[in-house]
């Protein structure tokens, strides 16, 4: 999703009855700060008021505590309070900001989503060009053929279990994603790149993926395809 740089707040927000009730609570000021942070987070995600780490990974109370930098008990109190007051809803562990439209200009949101769609098209075009020299030892044609065969094999065997249900893969995915975003690409992954990374984690060992990321950083190869090629090569060398 395209990042939103602003949200709308009514100048009379502190006169709102719910806000006044929240501020009257023992930790009212902390709860109000958490509320504003959740609004900003929903704006950053820009998915109709939904709040999550990724579409497959909802925020747990502990993860929100880490993000908000507030005590866990305070975060849990805030979520309970906001839910009881109808300010948020929770569906399938995903937090929704109630009445999100009033915090956003819907026309501007549609414009941002269209920009994001066009940017993804351009990204896929750039990715196709980068794939030509992504690996020193594995040709791009072979890489694409290998991916196609792997997908066909999974379909034939009906192995359609999302990798994030495998507990060990969640940790590997999050660690690899963090390294790629902070050290290799120096930006957040696009949705398509996240899917590529999940496929990589599902098929290769953690040490091979991390090695591929480190090597890509050293050789200044900011490409997931390069990491994929290195992980695949190391995996085949052990066979």
Least confident of 11-25, 45-59, 102-116: 102-116
Mean pLDDT of 195-201: 90
CATH number at residue 57: 1.10.10.10
Whether 223 and 152 share a structural domain: yes
Q: Is the dihedral angle over the CA atoms 61, 63, 64, 65 positive or is it negative?
A: positive
pLDDT range class, residue 208, cuts 50, 70, 90:
very high
Higher pLDDT, 176 or 113: 176
**110 inside domain:** no
In angstroms, the CA 226 to CA 204 distance is: 14
Tell me the average pLDDT across 65-78. 91
Question: Does residue 174 belong to any structural domain of this protein?
Answer: yes
pLDDT at residue 202 in the model: 87
Final residue of a domain: which of 86, 103, 120? 103
Question: Which residue intervals of the chain are DSSP H helices?
Answer: 17-24, 28-45, 61-68, 72-84, 106-130, 140-156, 167-179, 191-203, 206-218, 224-237
Label residue 164 by pLDDT band (50, 70, 90): very low
Same domain, 139 and 39: no
pLDDT (0 to 100) of residue 73: 92
Flag whether pLDDT at 135 surpasses 70.
no
What's the whole-model pTM score?
A: 0.44
Do residues 227 and 136 both lie within one domain?
yes
Is residue 115 assigned to a domain?
A: no
Q: Does residue 137 form part of some domain?
A: yes
Give 89's strand partners. 96
62 and 151, same structural domain?
Answer: no
Residue-range definition of the domain harbouring residue 174: 129-237
pLDDT at 27 over 60: yes
- Give the pLDDT of residue 76: 92
Q: Is residue 121 in a domain?
A: no
Q: Within this chain, do residues 35 and 90 fall inside the same structural domain, yes or no?
A: yes
3-state SS assignment for residue 82: helix
Does residue 158 have a pLDDT over 50? no
Q: Do 150 and 73 belong to one domain?
A: no
Pair (28, 74) in one structural domain: yes
Report the distance separating Cα 92 and Cα 111, nearest Å: 28
Q: What is the pLDDT of residue 229?
A: 92
Residues 159 and 71 in one domain: no
Give the confidence band of 127 by pLDDT, cuts at 50, 70, 90. confident
Give the pLDDT of residue 161.
47
Mean pLDDT over residues 113-124, rounded?
76
Residue 114: inside a domain = no
Work out the average pLDDT over 35-44.
88
Confidence of residue 108 (pLDDT cuts 50, 70, 90): low
14-27: average pLDDT: 88
- Please state, in angstroms and as integers, the Cα–Cα distance from residue 61 to each residue in 78, 82, 166, 170, 231, following that order: 10, 14, 20, 17, 34
- How many domains, the chain? 2
What does the alpha-carbon distance between residue 113 and residue 131 come to, in Å, rounded to a whole number?
27
Residue 119 lies in a domain: no
Query: Does 116 fall in a domain?
Result: no
Residue 143 and residue 233 share a domain: yes
Q: In the structure, what pLDDT confidence band is assigned to residue 95 with cuts at 50, 70 and 90?
A: very high
Task: Check whether 143 has a pLDDT greater than 60.
Answer: yes
Residues 78 and 152 in one domain: no
Same domain, 67 and 139: no
* 152 and 232, same domain (yes or no): yes
């Amino acid at each position: 999703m395209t990042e939103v740089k602003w949200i709308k707040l009514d100048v009379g927000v502190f006169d709102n009855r719910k806000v006044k009730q929240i501020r009257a609570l023992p930790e009212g000021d902390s709860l109000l700060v958490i509320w504003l942070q959740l609004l900003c987070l929903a704006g950053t995600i820009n998915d109709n008021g939904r709040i999550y780490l990724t579409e497959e990974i909802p925020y747990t109370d502990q993860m929100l505590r880490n993000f908000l930098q507030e005590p866990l008990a305070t975060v849990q109190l805030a979520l309970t309070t906001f839910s009881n007051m109808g300010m948020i809803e929770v569906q399938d562990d995903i937090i929704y900001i109630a009445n999100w439209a009033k915090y956003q200009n819907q026309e501007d949101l549609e414009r941002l989503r269209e920009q994001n769609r066009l940017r993804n098209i351009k990204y896929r075009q750039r990715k196709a060009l980068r794939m030509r020299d992504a690996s020193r030892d594995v040709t791009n044609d072979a890489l694409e053929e290998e991916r196609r065969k792997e997908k066909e094999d999974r379909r034939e065997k009906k192995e359609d279990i999302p990798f994030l249900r495998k507990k060990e893969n969640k940790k590997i995915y999050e660690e690899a994603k963090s390294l790629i975003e902070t050290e290799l690409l120096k930006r957040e992954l696009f949705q398509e790149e996240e899917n590529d990374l999940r496929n990589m984690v599902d098929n290769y060992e953690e040490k091979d993926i991390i090695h591929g990321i480190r090597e890509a950083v050293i050789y200044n190869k900011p490409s997931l395809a390069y990491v994929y090629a290195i992980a695949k090569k190391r995996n085949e060398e052990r066979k």
